[in-house]
Chain A
Amino acid sequence: MRVALLLVAPLLQVLLVNRSPWGGPDLVTLAVVWTALARGPVWGCAAGLAGGLLADVTPPADGTVGRTALVLSLLGLLSGRLSGRLSGRLSGNFGREREPLGPLGWRRGPLSWLVRRDRAPSRGLLGIGRGPVGPLAWAERERAPMGRGATSLVVAVVAAAGPVSQGAAAVAFGDEAWATAAAGLPVTAAWTAALGVAAAATARAARRHRPVVAPLPPEAAAVMRRV
């Protein structure tokens, strides 16, 4: 399903969405962000590479091959990283994201001092100064799952970042003039963000209404066995 979506997204984009007079979303970004939120950072990164590469070679694109692939694989990695903390188990592998690696995989290793936190009780003057704290420790805080509003905001920002970063890359690589890249960008970013939030809300609602088969508690299972 998601693979099919990734395959047809560039085609639908050039056949239908781009000829709409009211602008439209960036379908490839939506497909990549959806994959990343549902399957985690590795799948998001791979989907970004595949979808971006297809978008790069679908005519009438004639810029650098791999430009969109690079941008979208980074976006897929980022949104996959965020997926574990979004509300309502939007992500299928909620909770499995907690691995002993930081957001960039540096909780251990030569860069671990960046995220170091000293949990020792305060001994300093007036309780200030808990020892050295790494400059990126904020990224390593254990965080509770976000609320629904925060989740929608994160999805909107990540989705809008797709067209914006693609436009920035097109200008940076010299494939498009600045004015060309900027012309429809606000409209496209708004469409993508709105549809991303709507899709996330739909997925959340569908997941909530799905009947949950809870495992029996152990004592009940024991009773069942005896009976």
Chain B
Amino acid sequence: MRRAVVLLVLAAAVSLVAIDRTLAPLTPLREAGSAAFGAVQNAVGAATRAFAGDARLRAAEQENAQLRAELLSAGAPAADAGVMGRHQGVAAHVVGFGRQRVTIDAGAAAGVERDVTVLNADGLVGKVTWAGPATASVSLITDAGSSVGARMAGSGELGVVTGMPGEGLLRLSLFDPHAPLRPGDQVVTMGSAGSRPYAAGVPIGTVTEVESVPGAATRMALVRPAARLSALDLVAVIVPRPGR
């Protein structure tokens, strides 16, 4: 009897994993969890902000997020000049924290989709990995699995920025091994096709240390993120404008 129960429980766990990975993703289960636990996270976040006394700033925050998203994209190269015509900024708060992932209190209802840019007043935060009904999961740029196309603000050299979770730093690899690179140089996003997952021209961070490895195929440097990723609150999501 007891063996049967244990075997049943273990079989249920194994079959959950097997179904989610091979047959069909268990989206309904995940949406239910997002609806229930996400709602509680949103409520706790809203209550905390109301307690802190900034509930009346909500409208200003919303407008601010939109303006900021427009401003950041205005500095983008000509090829992406039309980005803000097709995209808009959605203001959101970070309400839950995971391992190199955060929950924001805006979801599919606000137009948030998978693989869109998340930024805050200082710079790039990450991208949306999953959007539930009223919440979305955001993977931070310090995640070791994250890689962002990057451009040096001054020289225009191209490269890739990957995360280093332990130190809260980023690693920049420039494709040109002889590219000029100094501590203090600014790194911005290169931008992806259709601004997904990353819009162009968003500040990523500042070079803090250049690694000089003779004969290396790429130019490596450590970058400190512009956004304080350990103390996130208000963020903006660049989402496609509905109806386009």
Contacts and interface: CB of A to CB of B under 8 A. Distances in A.
Interface in B116-175: 129-130, 132, 135-139, 143-145, 163-166
A77 B44 contact: no
B144 A178 contact: yes
B75 interface: no
A181 B30 contact: no
A176 B99 contact: yes
A221 interface: no
A117 interface: no
A46 B5 contact: yes
Interface in B26-40: 26, 29-30, 32-34, 37-38, 40
B131 to A, nearest CB: 10
Given A61-B137, A69-B16, A77-B6, A14 B143 contact: no
Contacts of A69: 13, 16-17
A59 B144 contact: no
Given A11-B41, A59-B37, A60-B98, A180 B137 contact: no
Interface stretch (B53-61, B100-108, B213-221): B100-108
Contacts of B97: 14-15, 18-19, 60
Contacts of B132: 59
Interface residues of A, number: 45
B30 A64 contact: no
B81 interface: no
A10 B164 contact: no
A41 interface: yes
Contact of A62 (B2, B19, B129): B129
A101 interface: yes
Contacts, number: 149
A77 to B, nearest CB: 6
A53 interface: yes
A41 B99 contact: no
Contact of B34 (A52, A57, A66): A57
Contacts of A207: none
A19 B102 CA distance: 10
Given A11-B37, A183-B99, A70 B13 contact: yes
Given A58-B37, A60-B102, A66 B6 contact: no
A224 B161 CA distance: 84
A89 interface: no
A49 interface: yes
A183 B129 contact: no
A179 B144 contact: yes
A86 interface: no
A78 B230 CA distance: 36
Given A69-B13, A179-B165, 14 more contacts: A14-B103, A45-B6, A46-B5, A49-B9, A59-B37, A62-B130, A62-B139, A66-B26, A69-B16, A70-B10, A70-B17, A180-B143, A180-B163, A182-B166
Interface of A: 10-11, 14-15, 18-19, 21, 41-42, 45-46, 48-49, 52-54, 56-62, 64-67, 69-70, 73-74, 77, 99, 101, 105, 173, 176-184
